[in-house]
Amino acid sequence: MTSRVLLLHSGGTIGMRPTADGYRPLEGFGAMLQQTLNNGSAKVPIFEVVELAELIDSSNLQPFHWTAIANELLARWDDFDGFVVLHGTDTMAYTASALSFMLRGTDKPVILTGSQIPLVEQRSDTIENLQAAMLLAANPAICEVCVCFGRRLLRGNRCSKLRTRSFDAFDSPNYPWLADIGIDITLHEERLLTSSASAFHVPQFDPQAVVVIQFYPGIQARMVEAMLASESVRGVVLRSYGVGNAPDADEQLMAVLASAVERGIVMVSTSQCITGGVTQGAYASGAMLNRIGVVPASDMTLEAAFTKLHVLLASGTDTDTLRQQFASPLSGECQ
């Protein structure tokens, strides 16, 4: 049977054109893409192109966009063998991570891709990325949400955008590539997730529910307290030093964090380092976070921790269960 792949265009550089004010979305991009792929120069599976009603400049991405993208996929889930989501690179890793938790247990490939140079420009990387993504989306061995970019396939909730001006913009610091894309596509099946019987859950998100606080020399307790004062804040991602260390000599700051946890705010800790993860308590300054009740995020990326917390909070899970679920791998996002 010939595989059928859906291309969902959500926006991004891939479908933009140059203007006096910089790149902007190109009207009729879906039809142009259809024609380009059908001209015979790109060997791809049978496909259909669908565009979101309102295209997203990924710098303007909001949590409700994750719901919109997931619902577009699920509305066509039974009609296709795999899915490719065209997305802007700035927040692609956030969307890939969010989809991995909402579509947990997927039995079909969901591949996000895009480009560093628009399709209409010279030297665009669009066709190379898109052709590889479509071929991988037609492969039934892949049962997870991935990012295909710059000749590599990455687990969606393990990757981050690390480079602004290279075709290999994305990498996966704490998990090996799922596929190498060269003359041949080498899929490392032993690294892939397997499908499960989990039911998909696509929640409605409160964009104010989760905030990110990064430690830096001179951080002020009153500024953190102001961020946590809103009743809408229910989760915090701390960007800790090293293996999960905090400025514990600042008693006022530690008291602000402890008070937030006591009020029921779920607080988790990721490392500011690109590789490695959190071992909270390896140093006394990190042990303070343990005493406060901060949940270590192991080797999760910021994008994975942020979206995982959003999804769990939006799912209505009680605080104790949520803390347990956050600390355990749900979609291969951590060790």
Please tell me the predicted confidence (pLDDT) of residue 41.
59
Let me know whether 184 and 215 are in one domain: no
**Could you give the CA distance from residue 44 to residue 38 in angstroms, rounded to a whole number?**
9
Q: What is the pLDDT of residues 315-329, one digit of tens each?
A: 988 899 999 999 999
Q: Are residues 142 and 100 in the same domain?
A: yes
Parent domain of 59: 4-191
CATH number at residue 160: 3.40.50.1170
Q: Is position 335 within any domain?
A: no
Whole-angstrom Cα distance, residue 261 to residue 255? 10
Domain identity same for 62 and 168: yes
Cβ(268)–Cβ(305) below 8 Å: yes
User: Mean pLDDT, the chain, as a whole number?
Assistant: 95
- What is the model's pTM? 0.96
215 in a structural domain: yes
Q: Are residues 177 and 238 in the same domain?
A: no
Would you call 36 a catalytic residue per the annotation? no
What is the model's pLDDT at position 86?
98
Tell me, yes or no, whether 225 and 172 share the same domain: no
Short-list 50, 38, 46, CA closest to 11: 50
Interatomic CA distance for residues 171 and 247, integer angstroms: 30
The per-residue pLDDT for range 26-81, each reduced to its tens digit, is 888 989 998 888 886 567 899 999 999 999 999 999 999 999 999 999 999 999 99
Same domain, 77 and 136: yes
Tell me which of 13, 89, 126, 270 is the catalytic residue.
Answer: 13
Is residue 19 in some structural domain?
yes
Domains contained in the chain, number = 2
In a domain, residue 52? The reply is yes
Question: Would you say residue 21 lies in a domain?
Answer: yes
Asked if residue 199 belongs to a domain, the reply is: no
3-state SS assignment for residue 194: coil
Q: What is the pLDDT of residues 150-179, one digit of tens each?
A: 999 999 999 999 999 999 999 999 999 999
Instruction: Quote the pLDDT of residue 40.
Output: 62
pLDDT at 302 over 70: yes
Q: Do 79 and 117 reside in the same domain of the chain?
A: yes
Residues 202-227 have pLDDT tens digits of 999 999 999 999 999 999 999 999 99
